[in-house]
Chains A and B, each alone.
Chain A
Amino acid sequence: MRSALGIEIGLAVLMLIVFLVGLVMPAGDKRRVGVLTAIGLVILLGISWRAEAGAEIFNGAFVQDELALFAKRLFIVATLIGVLASLPLRAVAFARRATEYYVAILASLLGMLVLGSARDLVLLFVAFELMSIPLYYLAGFLKREPEAVEAALKFFLVGTVSSAVLIYGLSFLYGIAGTTDIRGVATAMTTGHPMLLLGMLLALGGLGFKIAAFPFHMWVPDTYEAASTPFVAWLSVAPKAAGFIVIFRLYLEGMGDRVLFWVPAATGLAAVTIIGGNLMAIPQQNIKRLLAYSGVAHIGYMLVGFAAVSANGVAMMLFYLVAYLFGNMGAFLVVEAVAQAEGSEGIAAYRGLAQRSPILALSMLLFLLSLGGIPFVAGFWAKLYVFWAAAEQGLYWLVLLGAVLTVVALFYYLLVAKRMYIDAPDRRDPIPVAPLLSFCIFVCVLGVVLAGIYPRPLVIAALRAASPLF
């Protein structure tokens, strides 16, 4: 049991340590709490690499398979980058309450880790809430700023409603299947009871809110705009990845051999999400809102891999999640760097960045190209692979739709590139970037470029992770 729960136990211990150390630290010196959190996460990452797949405990409710391990490493890496990038945050409110901030992040991470292994409806829902509730709190962390409070409230209301819809759907599944084991649901599916499908549909609605699929995405741009950027960078990646893991468990393991039944809904959701996200991103003038909508579009692309309903499709989505982690977090971190120096999150703040801070501009260009799916950066392979998986299932129309809308995405990414490279700068002085922040940006650049030039090891890992589902 200890081997299966090693990562979660380690994290719980870390949470306790961070909490206690935070209590005894003097008020002005909370920065070290963050450093402690980061070190703990590095150790946790090491533990996750030593963990072995295959354990099942609590009668199979908690399963440590390849998929769970892959997902957990992804969550930990994302959190680590998020925490490191949060360290240079200087707001007064932040310095005083840093302990709460890091403990909340760790609590949410714990939810994600359990979620990665949950194969039981109750455990799944509990883990889901454990992940979500700290997020509402963190979104409103800068409570002196009215937008932050409003955004957090909106996020909270939408989030709880979606949880309610999700649990409503899950209750139907339990009612008909008579068991909370997801494999039991799969067995019950063979009866073709309509209530089971209704339950699945409701659950998809609830999860749609969490992963911000169109048309359940309304909270995304407002929340992203108001919350602190390093947190948003993390929020835009880790909980979404967790949402996808739930979708895999529920809709691939939980559907059994009736899995193809689900294809029309998934393709439809993918199509509208791609179209909606990309089109709404075009008129944005605030870069965080732009990235928010582009993130919605990326969820759509990942759903293309899901719509393929194959081991390849899932593997390619996992690859996409990794590419998205580095590309999207990196872009948000550059936003943070520019916002700290310029005090603006408008796209206009990027005028002539290439001549002021060439390396920062090049990093942003790489992230944008990766998000846009251009060769030699990670995003290209990500898009290519999900399209590939869909093409294998004959979903050529979806592939073509996705490919064409990629061009729309490039339109707004190129508008940012244009500001950086073509426009003349207002000022000449370079933008100062905190060392830790530039380290995080560098890590993201490394991830984007390495996965772009040599994607093979990651593809193999993703394929192995997807294998237990089929």
Chain B
Amino acid sequence: MPLGLSSFPVLSIITWSPFVGALLIMFLARRNALLVRWLAVASTAVSLILTLVIYVAYDREAAGFQFYEDVPLVAPLGINYQLGIDGMSLLMLLLTSIIIFAGAWASWTVKVRSQEFYALLLVLVTGVYGVFVSLDLFVLFLFYEIAVLPMYLLIGIWGSSGEVRPQGIFGWAFGRTGVGTKEYAAMKLTLYLLFGSAFILVGILALYVANDSSSFSFLEMELGQFDPRLQSWVFLAFYVGFGILAGIWPLHTWSPDGHASAPTAVSMLHAGVLMKLGAYGVVRLGMGLLPDATLQWSWLVGTIACINIVYGAFSAMAQTDLKYVIAYSSVSHMGVVMLGAATLTEVGLNGSVYQMFAHGIMTGLFFALVGLVYEKAHSREIFKMGGFARMMPGIATAFTIAGLSSLGLPATAGFVAELLTFLGAWQSSYSWWLIPAVGGAYLTAIYVLRVTKQIFWGPPSPDPHFQNLPDARGPEWAALWILVFVIVLFGVWPSLALAPVDTATMPLLNRLWVLQ
């Protein structure tokens, strides 16, 4: 392996560096807010730099899982701390590193209990990294739980109240317990995701029991053949479990409430990265381990993805709160991810992974911008604001670029992803999927352009509160610059991402095509 990385536990360092940062913050940086921030930035920078290093070092000719680490954890039970990445994990790792680095900068304004905030944020990121690099299903599940739980406190303590309307059975339960609305969003999110993890755990245990070698290793399970009937229901368990996190309809309702009430960095991380954990889980575990079931259920996954696309777009259109617009647009865009995967074609699956990346970056940018706008204008009501571009040209430009990527304009990352996915849908056995998918892209254009015009480029708002608003300044620029740069870079040079991803998707699809 190049660069002499074979003996160096680079994946572990990437994964645990934020965690070490969190420990340092908890023990060293008491009452020193500036040190807290710099520790957070530094520990995420370590991960980012090492991710870039392995991105360059990843051998695209050799493909397969590289940078392999394997330490026995509970040997008699077949649990190993087994890490490795292929092209798909590599891209997800890159996404996570970029978003959390930008997120650390975007949280610069958190003043209340900032020490705990950063510590929880960094612990959460360790969980996310861990899921992307784990090759042992049990360890993967542990990391998954680490990624989910801090969210409860992050939203519950630092979230914003008042913008969320409790509804449905959760609304009723919360009316009785008398807790506030951000707690409602935090609780709903946590319980939905833990509900999902219950399904995942049952699925993993079922595979473990069915696996003759009694090991949780992904690589070993991949070699084995599971009984098609077992595959069938385990696939559904994984689809429900991970799909909740990916925001599939009708299990997505936690996501708009959660995103809307989360603090900026948490929204960025959650919509940008955590939802990808769900999609990644469906592709890696569901499609990777259960080929028969994948062929059996692809119609279901694709059809629900179409509902996601159209339903999410219509819901986004109906919102008046800026954060809800972005949150519902995520639901719609995650539909594109799932649709690409369900096509079971090479372009489609590549497009799916590309969309995970592109959507992660642009949603991260969107939420960073919404955070900035809210901080300066103290409003998220779209129709009260107007003409902000005169006062905050930088924010307006960045928002427009994110919007254009969202609606799939060429030369942005979003374009490549959607184009590939649509091609895949056309080539798949259900070419009618193309109709709702393209329709969704059209609807996206409507709501994105409308929101952008209303807030930034339209006539100025008569409201005196909005007369003298500052543009972004200081550290706030960091997140915007990084994310805009990535959107354009991956838009004009798609092979940056497609080359490694293709090495991961081809073997996966080959196993499916053998069965067909």
Q: Are the CB atoms of A375 and B142 closer together than 8 Å? A: yes
Q: Contact partner of A403 among B74, B190, B201, CB < 8 A?
A: B201
Q: Are the CB atoms of A375 and B145 closer together than 8 Å? A: yes
A407 to B187, CA, bound (A): 11
A91 to B185, CA, bound (A): 43
B127 to chain A, nearest CB (A): 10
Q: Which residues, 403 to 431 on A, are CB-close (under 8 Å) to B?
A: 403-404, 406-407, 410-411, 414-415, 417-418, 421-422
Indicate if B20 sits at the interface (CB-CB under 8 A): no
Q: Are the CB atoms of A410 and B190 closer together than 8 Å? A: yes
Task: Report how many residues on chain B are interfacial, defined by Cβ distance under 8 Å.
Answer: 28
Q: Contact partner of B183 among A283, A410, A422, CB < 8 A?
A: A422
Q: Are the CB atoms of B179 and A415 closer together than 8 Å? A: yes
Interface of A is mostly: helix
A422 to B155, CA, bound (A): 10
Q: Are the CB atoms of B206 and A407 closer together than 8 Å? A: no
Indicate if B199 sits at the interface (CB-CB under 8 A): yes
Contact with A along B180-197 (1 / 0, CB 8 A): 000100010011001100
Please give, as numbers and ranges, the residues of chain B lying within 8 Å of A418 by CB-CB distance.
Answer: 156, 179, 183, 187
B230 nearest CB neighbor, chain A only: A396
B195 nearest CB neighbor, chain A only: A407
Indicate if B198 sits at the interface (CB-CB under 8 A): yes
Please give, as numbers and ranges, the residues of chain B lying within 8 Å of A422 by CB-CB distance.
Answer: 153, 156-157, 183
Indicate if A388 sits at the interface (CB-CB under 8 A): yes
Q: Are the CB atoms of B190 and A406 closer together than 8 Å? A: no
Indicate if A2 sits at the interface (CB-CB under 8 A): no
Indicate if A446 sits at the interface (CB-CB under 8 A): no
Q: Are the CB atoms of A400 and B199 closer together than 8 Å? A: yes
Indicate if B398 sits at the interface (CB-CB under 8 A): no
B198 to chain A, nearest CB (A): 3
Q: Contact partner of A388 among B141, B195, B198, B205, CB < 8 A?
A: B205
Indicate if A456 sits at the interface (CB-CB under 8 A): yes
- The answer to whether residues A391 and B209 also contact, given A283-B176, A400-B198, A421-B156 and a CB cut-off of 8 A, is yes
- The answer to whether residues A392 and B153 also contact, given A375-B145, A410-B194 and a CB cut-off of 8 A, is no
Indicate if B149 sits at the interface (CB-CB under 8 A): yes
A407 to B202, CA, bound (A): 14
Please give, as numbers and ranges, the residues of chain B lying within 8 Å of A410 by CB-CB distance.
Answer: 190-191, 194
Q: Are the CB atoms of A403 and B206 closer together than 8 Å? A: no
Please give, as numbers and ranges, the residues of chain B lying within 8 Å of A391 by CB-CB distance.
Answer: 202, 205-206, 209
Indicate if B516 sits at the interface (CB-CB under 8 A): no
B76, B177, B179, B206 pick with most chain A CB within 10 angstroms: B177
Please give, as numbers and ranges, the residues of chain A lying within 8 Å of B179 by CB-CB distance.
Answer: 415, 418
B187 nearest CB neighbor, chain A only: A414
B209 to chain A, nearest CB (A): 5
Q: Which residues, 403 to 454 on B, are CB-close (under 8 Å) to A?
A: none
B187, B190, B198, B206 pick with most chain A CB within 10 angstroms: B198
Please give, as numbers and ranges, the residues of chain B lying within 8 Å of A396 by CB-CB distance.
Answer: 202, 206
Indicate if B219 sits at the interface (CB-CB under 8 A): no
Indicate if A374 sits at the interface (CB-CB under 8 A): yes
Q: Are the CB atoms of A403 and B198 closer together than 8 Å? A: yes
Indicate if B357 sits at the interface (CB-CB under 8 A): no
Indicate if B152 sits at the interface (CB-CB under 8 A): yes
Q: Which residues, 287 to 311 on A, are CB-close (under 8 Å) to B?
A: none
Contact with A along B145-172 (1 / 0, CB 8 A): 1100100110011000000000000000
Q: Are the CB atoms of A406 and B209 closer together than 8 Å? A: no
Indicate if A319 sits at the interface (CB-CB under 8 A): no
A103 to B199, CA, bound (A): 48
Contact with B along A326-352 (1 / 0, CB 8 A): 000000000000000000000000000
Chain A residues at the B interface, C-beta cutoff of 8 Å: 282-283, 374-376, 384, 387-388, 391-392, 396, 399-400, 403-404, 406-407, 410-411, 414-415, 417-418, 421-422, 456
A-B contact pairs, 27 of them (CB 8 A): A283-B176, A375-B142, A375-B146, A384-B201, A387-B202, A387-B205, A388-B209, A391-B202, A391-B206, A396-B202, A400-B202, A403-B201, A403-B202, A404-B195, A407-B191, A407-B194, A407-B198, A410-B191, A411-B187, A414-B187, A414-B190, A417-B153, A421-B157, A422-B156, A422-B157, A422-B183, A456-B76
Chain B residues at the A interface, C-beta cutoff of 8 Å: 74, 76, 141-142, 145-146, 149, 152-153, 156-157, 173, 176-177, 179, 183, 187, 190-191, 194-195, 198-199, 201-202, 205-206, 209
Nearest first, the 10 A-B pairs at minimum CB distance are A403-B198, A422-B156, A407-B195, A391-B205, A407-B194, A375-B145, A375-B142, A400-B202, A404-B198, A422-B157
